[in-house]
Structure 1
């Protein structure tokens, strides 16, 4: 009897503990942040009753000049929140243009994310909240009620890098039930990124789903590799497990990646139903990925019919001494002589790489090498690169 009584008391105590724990778990402040209003203004809120100053920073605010390891670049501005009732701080924006925005808070100088917004994104080692103001091109970034493709994380053998490596691959709606063969876009990330960058920060799956559904882009496979040759996968996803991501990783721009790129092509063409001729291969990349695109397409001059250089990091490098970078002018001319369908260059007017891209264009002009040039507002930012992908993909195949 005593044993049963003790068991019952333990059971009741456990129920009491769990109920209180669950009550605490489901008892957050009833705060909506961000709140997107009908006129596309946005209100941010943060419960911080003991704070003396709260700021919000994000790319919806006017940019400011910031010193970075890459030189002076545009950075997000800041705005002050005002303290209201119950210790809730607020800031309301003017009407915002359609876009995917990111933001974070600063509380008495301590940077933090918004606890009322569970939607976060990682860029290198920084995590920020995101929200979408819909309309116009921003509707391409939404998950709409249309047929959807599949995003897979695969592992491939890279003899050139002597390891198995993780890769992200988008297949278009209907791929699994079709017998068709598809063209391929190889989409390369920038410094500090990895095989997660384009699919997360770039909204590649949403952009491709929407463009294909609207009949603006042909169904295609999009391959997003990891350009950091000393990694087998993104931080937290590879064999090194959890560690802080870095902006510049050794050997990323010394020719090693470009020289081993055939390993990726071979894996894709042996594992997926794809068209394997030059006319059905495209390659594009942002920043460092634009640099890789330039050199991969030149080093393999009869491999791609479509090239996209998005804010390409065209700059001299002391470690660019390998065979991939030798005979630059001759191999670039060979690429031109082999002909292609599109050599697309895009850059923001305030991008710190603007002058380097203009110098490269002058070189192409002197060679009479055909290209298409697009100049946009803004600097070296994901807002531009998502738009560039949205413009580039419909021109393929």
Structure 2
């Protein structure tokens, strides 16, 4: 079934598609051609957990980037997905994770890099580092507008349209690669909105690693300074970081090591407030992320200790 509707809080006209529900597997909704101020048109796939349509329960919300690669291989870039719905169901079966609504935000094609690159890292970069980033953007960096839209109009519409629990500790954000950077950006720059963040295989080089150079000291220093300035105290928040060791992930260890040291030095307790994992042999691709997503969600979204 297809119908048009106005989503007032988003200030847009979208196409809504209901995907048939599968028993005990939840239900998918899709919203196309979403206008967002300062951004390319956006698109959403929203997963409602089993039981949503049969009661009045309110649910925490998980926002995820690269929404086209989350659920349906036919709509994905590489015919493989994170299987985010299945990962959530697996986490729920442990009894430690409540059902969450998943809001998958599709990447806007060629504009993905400039939408996900944190402005806090791009703006102060100079010289060859700035040139390497600019070579990848293809236009102005709009991550600040993207974050404003997620934390503002999008979240307002989700909370008004679905039975959510809108508080900070019931609002999580997860992504991989550049989406991992964007998830950290949201967590650091909007600590009152996002109480949980999963930064998976985060692309710390923030450009082509061959252009940036292995373990670029300037870039490591910028990441360290950003986390030092913006992380703050845990105050009940949780942060997950990880990477593999193959393909693009092979470039990430020096950056992750420095960031881990900064988080620990900031008074965060590893295993309680934050976690950082290395997956030997894991590549930079959806199957690798799907394999560990139940573990990520199980730790990140667990009920209070």
TM-score under structure 2 length normalisation: 0.64
| Cα 1:283–1:332 shift into 2, 3 Å | farther
Which residue of 56, 71, 92 corresponds with 1:179? 56
Query: Conserved in 1, the CA contact under 8 Å of 2:30 and 2:44?
Result: yes
How far is 1:215 from its partner?
A: 3.6
Secondary structure class of the residue paired with 2:103: strand
| Cα 1:146–1:209 shift into 2, 3 Å | farther
Consecutive aligned runs of 4 or more in structure 1 exceeding 6 Å deviation: 229-232
State the distance in 2 between where 1:165 and 1:216 align.
33
Query: Conserved in 2, the CA contact under 8 Å of 1:188 and 1:285?
Result: yes
1:197 lines up with 2:69 in the alignment: yes
Structure 1 counterpart of 2:11: none
**CA root-mean-square deviation:** 3.2
1:200-223 Cα deviation digits (max 9, x unpaired): 311112222344356453211011
Report which of the two structures shows the higher radius of gyration computed on alpha carbons: 1
Q: How does 1:244-283 map to 2 (within 5 A)?
A: 250=138, 255-256=143-144, 257-262=146-151, 263-283=153-173
1:63-96 Cα deviation digits (max 9, x unpaired): xxxxxxxxxxxxxxxxxxxxxxxxxxxxxxxxxx
Query: Conserved in 2, the CA contact under 8 Å of 1:186 and 1:223?
Result: yes
State the distance in 1 between where 2:265 and 2:93 align.
41
1:391 lines up with 2:295 in the alignment: yes
State the distance in 2 between where 1:252 and 1:207 align.
35
1:172-215 Cα deviation digits (max 9, x unpaired): 001112211100111123xxxxx311223111122223443564
State the distance in 2 between where 1:181 and 1:292 align.
27
* Runs of 5+ unmatched residues, structure 2: 1-21, 73-80, 113-135, 209-221
1:376 lines up with 2:266 in the alignment: no
State the distance in 2 between where 1:339 and 1:390 align.
25
1:79-130 Cα deviation digits (max 9, x unpaired): xxxxxxxxxxxxxxxxxxxxxxxxxxxxxxxxxxxxxxxxxxxxxxxxxxxx
Structure 1 counterpart of 2:8: none
Structure 2 counterpart of 1:356: 255
Which residue of 169, 176, 190 corresponds with 1:300? 190
1:333-379 Cα deviation digits (max 9, x unpaired): 45423623321111113322222222222232343344211111223
Q: Relative to total residues, which structure has the larger strand share, 1 or 2?
A: 1
1:112-156 Cα deviation digits (max 9, x unpaired): xxxxxxxxxxxxxxxxxxxxxxxxxxxxxxxxx961101111248
Structure 1 counterpart of 2:233: 337
Q: How does 1:130-149 map to 2 (within 5 A)?
A: 147-149=24-26
How far is 1:388 from its partner?
A: 2.8
How far is 1:162 from its partner?
A: 5.7
Q: Relative to total residues, which structure has the larger helix share, 1 or 2?
A: 2
State the distance in 2 between where 1:385 and 1:342 align.
19
State the distance in 1 between where 2:59 and 2:228 align.
28
Secondary structure class of the residue paired with 1:368: coil
Query: Conserved in 2, the CA contact under 8 Å of 1:184 and 1:281?
Result: yes
